[in-house]
Each structure stands twice: as structure tokens, then as C-alpha cells.
Amino acid sequence: MKEFSYERPESLDEAIRVLAASGSDVEILAGGTDLVIAMRDRYREPTVVVDLKRIAEFYPSLVWDGDTVTLSATATMTEVVDDEGINRHFPALAEAAVVVGSVQIRNRATLLGNICNGSPAADTAPPLLVYDAIVVVAGPAGIRRVAIDDFIVGPGRTNLQDGEIAIALELTVPSRPLGSAYERMTRRRGTDLASVTLCAAVDDAGITRVAFGSVGPRAWLRVDETGVLADPDAPAEARAAVFEGIFADASPSVKSLRASPDYRRAMLRVLGARAVGRARGRLAEVRGVS
Amino acid sequence: MSETIHIETTINGRDRAFEVAANLTLLDVLRDQLGLTGSKECCVVGECGACTVIMDGIPMNSCLMLAVEIDGRDVITVEGLATDGHLNALQQAFLDLSAPQCGFCIPGQLMSAHALLQRNSDPTIDDVNEALGGNLCRCAGYLQITEAVMVAAKAGKE
Ligand code: FES
Ligand code: FES
């Protein structure tokens, strides 16, 4: 690992000041499960590493306030998986968080880091897109809130500007009854990166949202307003046509070692059908209890 | 020379204060600087669990952490399981059931299992498989390892 200077701010203000003074060769350290590997393998060689874990404002890492949950930059996958409210209201996010790496990795890896790292295969990107998460960003000019769809840009890139830190994710419980589910395809059970990731949500107005990743430069969100996917009795051809449109932009890399483009495209449809089916089932349950 | 940082930490119940280079992983420092070679270096990308340690009660991969991150924390490595030269119940169960074959993965398996039993003294087989899912055994002695954890859990209850 190349040498760097290590900074450990204790407040958000201090962190912003440290970032401003550090130039552009700076890396933010939260869980470190991607960054430490990247630094050891020397494809990231920062001169300054800013560790966020002592910033007082980030604790507690997961806070519910009415219908909104705020997950700070230090909220780990384990905390997401263990939170009862997340499991109840955002089950697809819990399903995505619980398959990231292993227990040891989930104890360390953060939800926000999964997004900031910018991997097209990030497990939590599709559910966060489906649930319309907001990314809270702090910088020298203050705080701004960015829709997750605008925050995610491309491989390794986000909407963060120099001197800014993503400090939290906000999720608000949808006002209409919603059923949602997450599916992924990997080569094996256990620690593995996903070849296809997909999240679907169906609401009681017949609108279906589908977000999918690992088949292009970023995870995308698409919405079916025709009601076809939400309808369990829709003819198979109609459903296939809607999926065709939803997945039109999928452009899996030919260079990936994990799966061929044809296989990924085929699996998108399989996972799409599975996730929508489970989402419909959950919507029925939600309606049943309300 | 990289920046060195003074840290104060508790390792295996003993308070320690020392300097670490910012650009070293916890695994490097445990093994090369502190002589605690029980934690093993294998994949160094978080896939095998051979380097697992417990920090503030939570199992983590020491190959994915900077050493300076243990400042102010409580760390247990496999060397911290035995007391006064006596194996703990978990280690004894591993031995009794011949869970170690080559032994390389065992420190990591023990740490994941120890963290599980601290949290859940009455685990099911599924709990054990989930908790140890991040620990690979290339000798593939998984059955004996799982069995040993279940035996240790039972012994702990008596
Ligand atoms: S050496 Fe750390 S997980 Fe393999
Ligand atoms: S005993 Fe040999 S790797 Fe597990």
C-alpha cells in the first residue's frame, strides 16, 4: 500500500475542512471493504485518507423519524439487515443487504459506501432506486439532497463533487401499499459478486417499478405504468413485451468473467418475472393486513 | 516513510499502546509487528475469512482494515481464546471432533464461531452455517467444523 496521511475528523465541519485542504487525491474511508483492497492493489493511491467513523453526527447510524429512516455514512449492512422497520417497509433492501459478501464483510461494509463506490453490480442500488432513496450530501456550500437516480452516474462515478461527502441516505415509507422483492444471480452461493441484480415493486395502482444492475455502466430504474406487470393474469406475450422495453438498454460487458452478455440478458427476464411475482404476493399481504 | 500514528487498544484483554504506519492493514500489524501469527493471511480480499478477528464483539476481516482503525477498540484474536494455557470449550470441541485438517482456516473459523456463541448461546445448524459462511476451508472439513460448534454450544449450556 502506498503511503498516505490518515485523517480522522470528529465532526462533520472538521471533515469538510479536512477535505477542502486535502486536494483531489483523497479517499473517504467508511467500511473499507473495497477501499483497502484497492489501495493494497494500488489502483487507488490517495495522498490522504479521511476516516468517517469518528464523526459524532453519524451516530446512531440508523434513525427512524415518523415515516422516514435516515441511514448515516456509517450504517453497516448488518445494521440494515437487523432493523425491523427496514424489513417491514423496505424488505427488498434487507434482501439485498443480506447477500453482500459474508458476515464479516456485512459487519464492516456500509450501505452508503456500496453506492459511493459506484460498482454497477452494487446489490443495494436496485432497491434504493425502486424506493426513491435520497442521498444527503455535505460540502463547503452546505447540505444538498440528491435523488439516488441522479446520484448514481457510472462505473466508479457518482454525482459527488470535489470537497463533498455523502453523509446519509433517506428512505420514506411509500404512501400507497407497495409490495417489493430483490433477486440476484451469482455463480455460486456464498461470497460472490452478482452477475445480475434486480428489484421490483408493485403498488396498488398497478404501477410496477423495476431496477436492475450489473448489465451496463450503472443500475437503471424503469417504470411500467401499463398495469401489465402488476396483473397476475396478463398474457405471457404482453408481459414479455413490457420486459423487452424495460431491459432495452441492458448492455452487459463482453469482458466480464462472471457471465456472458447473452446469459445475463436471459437471466434479466427470469429474475424480472421472479421478483415481480414475489412483489405482487407481498402487495397482497400488505393489503390483507391493512 | 509513511505517517505513523500512536494508538491505544486492548488486544486479547491486554492494554497496549504502540505506533503503527497508516498504510498497514490490521492483519499485517498483528502478524509482523505484534507477532500474533494466529490470524492467517490468505486471499487478502475478504473472501476466505482466515484473517477473522473480533472487534468490540463483532467479527471482521483484518485484511480489510487499517491497523489504525483499532485505536480505542477491543480486539480479540485466536490467541485470546485460551486462558492460562487451557483451550476454551470451542477449541476443545474442534480438537475432539478432528475439525482441523491442515489447520490453516481454523483460527478464522474459531473467531467466527466464538463471535456467534457470544451472541447466541443456542444456535441452530443454520445459524452456524450462516455465521461461518465467510470462512472457507479448502480441506472442506465443514461437517466437523459445524458439529464442533454445536457441541461447544451444548457444553456451554451445561
Ligand atoms: S485473508 Fe482476509 S478474508 Fe481472506
Ligand atoms: S483445515 Fe485445511 S483449510 Fe480448513
Question: What CATH number does the domain containing A234 carry?
Answer: 3.30.390.50
**Chosen domain end from A111, A143, A172:** A172
Domain that holds residue B60: 4-80
- Residue pairs between chains A and B whose CB atoms are closer than 8 Å: 87
Q: Are B8 and B37 found together in one domain? A: yes
**Range B135-155 average pLDDT:** 95
- Average pLDDT estimate for B24-43: 98
- A154 and A195 in a single domain? The answer is no
- Residue A9's pLDDT band (cuts 50, 70, 90): very high
Q: Are residues B121 and B138 in the same domain?
A: yes
Q: Check whether residue B48 and residue B13 sit in a common domain.
A: yes
Whether residues A19 and A113 share a domain: the answer is yes
Q: Which of B26, B54, B80 is the last residue of a domain?
A: B80
Q: Which domain holds residue A192?
A: 178-289
Residue B108 CA to ligand 1 centre (angstroms):
9
End-of-domain residue from the set A172, A207, A236: A172
Residue with the larger pLDDT of the pair A104 and B156: A104
Interface of A with B in 172-191 (CB under 8 A): 190-191
pLDDT of residue B1: 45
Q: Cα-atom radius of gyration of chain B, to the nearest Å?
A: 16
Mean pLDDT across the stretch B121-145?
95
Percent of chain A with pLDDT over 70: 97
Mean of pLDDT values over A161-173: 96
Contacting A residues, span 101-120, partner chain B, CB-CB under 8 Å: 101-105, 107-108
Do the beta carbons of residue B74 and residue B55 sit within 8 Å? yes
Asked if residue A45 and residue A11 are part of one domain, the reply reads yes
Do A46 and A117 lie in one domain? The reply is: yes
**pLDDT higher than 80, residue B101:** yes
Domain count, chain A: 2
Residues B64 and B102 placed together within one structural domain of the fold: no
Percent of chain B at pLDDT > 70 equals 97
Residue ending a domain, among A139, A172, A205, is A172
CATH number at residue A53: 3.30.465.10
Which residues partner with B60 through β-bridges?
B53
Are B118 and B147 found together in one domain? yes
Residue A198 has pLDDT above 80, yes or no: yes
Which pLDDT belongs to residue B3? 81
Q: Are residues A168 and A183 in the same domain?
A: no
Residue A253 has pLDDT above 90, yes or no: no
Check whether A189 has a pLDDT greater than 70: no
Mean predicted lDDT score pLDDT of chain A: 94
Report yes or no: B49 at the A interface, CB cutoff 8 Å. yes
More confident residue, A256 or A127: A127
pLDDT of B129 over the 70 cut: yes
Are B76 and B94 contained in the same domain? no
Q: Average the pLDDT over B8-30 and give the result.
A: 98
Q: Look at residues B46, B80, B114 and tell me which one is the last residue of a structural domain.
A: B80
Which ligand 1 atom is at minimum distance from the Cα of B49?
Answer: 3
Residues A142 and A202 occupy one common structural domain = no
Whole-model pTM: value is 0.95
- Which pLDDT band holds residue A254 (cuts at 50, 70, 90)? confident
CB within 8 Å: B66 and A101: no
Kindly state whether residues A106 and A203 are assigned to the same domain: no
Distance of CA B108 to the CA centre of its chain: 5
Any idea what the CATH number is for the domain that residue B29 is in?
Answer: 3.10.20.30
Kindly report, residue by residue over A64-97, the tens digit of the pLDDT: 999 999 999 999 999 999 999 999 999 999 999 9
Q: A27 pLDDT exceeds 70?
A: yes
**Chain B contact set for A103 (CB, 8 A):** 59, 112, 130-131, 133-134
CA of B62 to the centre of ligand 1 (A): 7
Residue with cell 477535505: A19
- What is the count of structural domains for chain B? 2
* Ligand 1 pocket residue status of B138, Cβ below 6 Å: no
- Indicate if B111 and B150 belong to the same structural domain: yes
- A259 pLDDT band, cuts 50/70/90, is confident
- The residue from B60, B80, B100 where one domain ends is B80
Give Cα separations from B40 to B44, B51, B133, B135 (angstroms): 10, 5, 17, 12
Residue A56 or A216, more confident: A56
Nearest to A144 by CA among A153, A152, A134: A134
**Residue A192, pLDDT above cutoff 80:** no
Residues A36 and A162 in one domain: yes
Say if strands A26-29 and A48-51 run parallel, antiparallel, or are unpaired.
Answer: parallel
Residue A209 sits at the vertex; the CA angle it makes with A207 and A213, to the nearest 5 degrees, is: 165
Q: Are residues A185 and A109 in the same domain?
A: no
Cα of B151 from ligand 2 centre, angstroms: 19
Q: Same domain for B97 and B75?
A: no
Same domain, A79 and A200: no
Residue of A131, A81, A87 lying closest to A101 (CA atoms): A81
- Do residue A155 and residue A189 come from a single domain? no
ipTM value > 0.90:
yes
For the cut 80, the answer to whether the pLDDT of residue A257 exceeds it is: no
Q: What local confidence, expressed as pLDDT, does residue B2 receive?
A: 63
DSSP state string for chain A: ----EEE--SSHHHHHHHHHHT-SSEEEESS-TTHHHHHHTTS---SEEEE-TT-GGG-SSEEEETTEEEEETT-BHHHHHH-HHHHHH-HHHHHHHTTSS-HHHHTT-BHHHHHHTT-TT-TTHHHHHHTT-EEEEEETTEEEEEEHHHHEEETTEESPPTT-EEEEEEEE--SS-EEEEEEEE-SSSSS---SEEEEEEEETTS-EEEEEESSSSS-EEEEE-SSTTT-TTS-HHHHHHHHHHHTTT----SS-SS--HHHHHHHHHHHHHHHHHHHHHHHHHHHHH-
Contact B65 A29 (CB under 8 A): no
| CATH at B144 | 1.10.150.120
